[in-house]
Amino acid sequence: MCGIFGFAKTSNGQSDHQLDILKRTFTNLTDESSARGKDSTGFSIMNPLERYTYKTLTDSSTLTRTNEWSNVIDKIDRDTSIVLGHTRFATTGAKVVTNAHPFNIGEVVGIHNGVIYNFNQVARGLGKAIPQVDSEVIFQSLNRKDKSKAFESINGDFAIAWAKENNTTLHLAREDGRPMVISYWKKAKVLFFASTEDIMNNAMIDAGLVLDIIKVPTDIIYSYDTSKFTKLVEYKEEKFKTISQETVDDYGYGFNYGYGGWYTKNSTKTCDTTYDNDIEDAYCMICGDYSWSQGYCAEHLPTELVANMSPASKALYENKVDYCEVCFEDTVDDELEYDADIRKYVCIDCEWDIPKYDGKLLTDGGIDEEGNTNRVS
């Protein structure tokens, strides 16, 4: 999970006191969103004429307590129209600044929380190189196509915020797999957004604001023209559709976030194999061999995964794995999968026993903070 947050406001529509409260609220949103991702922090701060992007590998909670934070927050002034903020929980792509959000692609600047399972296919369909970070394909698609059309080829979970045609219109959209809430401060003509109600509520209370918080409905693009903000926030809405996600497979696994997600094969086992999500079984994206987890067999892994392996796993990878690193039972290559969460090669039986919920590792006896246990079934 990643954190997305920010605001849209009428330029030159706030008093000095309101601007101070706005900055305090945004600082709190930045701080609170650290709970959803600590691998990088990024912002896009816009006024009607220009965009300023800032990215760092410092987690957001630490950043707000450094001298550097004043350089960021001072960019927010009366002219500011839209601010996008993001905290990254890395799933695809190395933990480097260039892979941090926001992404600036053509006319689009945007932030994303979620997983795009078919990002390789979407990139190929757009005639683009396969990106390190799955999120990029959404903004490549939005840059190329009309808003609602941009999601038609997407298979994934997402909550996103972006600007495109100008720096005064904020677009928000989510599907059912990822949360997003909004809150409107009508006296200052400011619309806040955040990933969760808790993050929003904590940020506002500490800044002295008491506002209603509303969950953003799913499968609708909401476009907010900040020049039209009054006591009521005006917006346009447009429905969108995505590729329906496949359900849990015969093993009972929910979708694993990761490096390619679930991929399927509809031709022979070659490295230029084409893939079709309508076929139930999953195969390696590289060679076409059966792969029951993250879209790659034990021998074909992305460069960033190999680089982040433990020394033992890397040795096994280079010498063709033939045993499970959890139970140490001998097995054959096509019954093993590299689990990026625990950085080990595991067999099917052990992968099932690793405590996860919705693709995320659980650490406290297999129970997360909401009481969920084991995998989605």
Q: Using one digit for the tens of pLDDT, what is the confidence trace for 177-196?
A: 899 999 999 999 999 999 99
Q: Which residues contact 70 (CB under 8 A, 6 or more apart)?
A: none
Whether 108 has a pLDDT exceeding 80, the answer reads yes
The pLDDT tens digits for 310-331 are 666 666 666 655 677 777 777 6
pLDDT range class, residue 345, cuts 50, 70, 90 = confident
Give CA torsion, residues 138, 140, 146, 147, to 10 deg. 30
Which is higher by pLDDT, 333 or 206?
206
Average pLDDT over residues 37-52: 96
Give CA torsion, residues 94, 193, 33, 132, to 10 deg. 0
Whether 301 has a pLDDT exceeding 80, the answer reads no
Which is higher by pLDDT, 75 or 294?
75
Distance CA 265, CA 148 (A): 28
Place of tokens 């097995």: 331
- What pLDDT, on the 0 to 100 scale, is given for residue 320? 52
- What pLDDT, on the 0 to 100 scale, is given for residue 53? 96
Q: Given 3-state DSSP classes, what are the helix, strand and coil percentages for the chain, each rounded to the nearest 5?
A: 25, 25, 50
Which is higher by pLDDT, 348 or 37?
37
Distance CA 170, CA 159 (A): 14
Whether 333 has a pLDDT exceeding 80, the answer reads no
pLDDT range class, residue 174, cuts 50, 70, 90 = very high
The pLDDT tens digits for 210-240 are 999 999 999 999 999 999 999 888 899 999 9
Distance CA 114, CA 218 (A): 14
Whether 302 has a pLDDT exceeding 80, the answer reads no
Q: Do the beta carbons of residue 253 and residue 375 sit within 8 Å?
A: yes
Q: What is the DSSP string of 41-95?
A: EEEEEEETTEEEEEEESS-HHHHTTSTHHHHHHTT--TT--EEEEEEE--SSS-S
Q: Do the beta carbons of residue 194 and residue 30 sit within 8 Å?
A: no
- Name, of 241-255, 273-287, 313-327, the range with top average pLDDT: 313-327
Question: What percent of the chain clears pLDDT 90, i.e. is strictly above it?
Answer: 54
- What pLDDT, on the 0 to 100 scale, is given for residue 9? 97
- What pLDDT, on the 0 to 100 scale, is given for residue 50? 96
Which is higher by pLDDT, 316 or 43?
43
Q: In the chain, how many H helices and how many E strands? A: 9, 17
Cis before 217 (ω within 30): no
pLDDT range class, residue 341, cuts 50, 70, 90 = low
Whether 38 has a pLDDT exceeding 50, the answer reads yes
Which is higher by pLDDT, 272 or 92?
92
- Domains along the chain with CATH numbers: 3-239 (3.60.20.10), 246-377 (no CATH)
Whether 68 has a pLDDT exceeding 80, the answer reads yes
- What's the length of the chain? 377
- What pLDDT, on the 0 to 100 scale, is given for residue 351? 67
Question: Phi and psi dihedrals of 80, rounded to 5?
Answer: -55, 135
- Separation of first and last alpha carbons in the chain: 20
**Residue 214 token pair:** 């509303």
**Residue 47 token pair:** 């006024």
Q: What is the DSSP string of 197-253?
A: HHHHHHHHHHHT-----EEPPSSEEEEEEGGG-SSS---EEEE---PPPP---TT--
C-alpha pair distances (Å), 307 with each of 114, 302, 304, 344: 23, 9, 5, 13
The pLDDT tens digits for 9-20 are 999 999 999 999
Question: What percent of the chain clears pLDDT 70, i.e. is strictly above it?
Answer: 69
Per-chain mean pLDDT for the chain: 79
**Residue 371 token pair:** 């009481």
What pairing do the DSSP bridges indicate for beta strands 236-239 and 336-339?
unpaired
- What pLDDT, on the 0 to 100 scale, is given for residue 319? 61
Is the C-alpha dihedral spanning 10, 16, 21, 23 positive or negative?
positive
Is the C-alpha dihedral spanning 264, 246, 250, 132 positive or negative?
positive
- Name, of 106-110, 113-117, 253-257, the range with top average pLDDT: 106-110
Q: Do the beta carbons of residue 95 and residue 40 sit within 8 Å?
A: yes
- What pLDDT, on the 0 to 100 scale, is given for residue 79? 97
Distance CA 131, CA 101 (A): 13
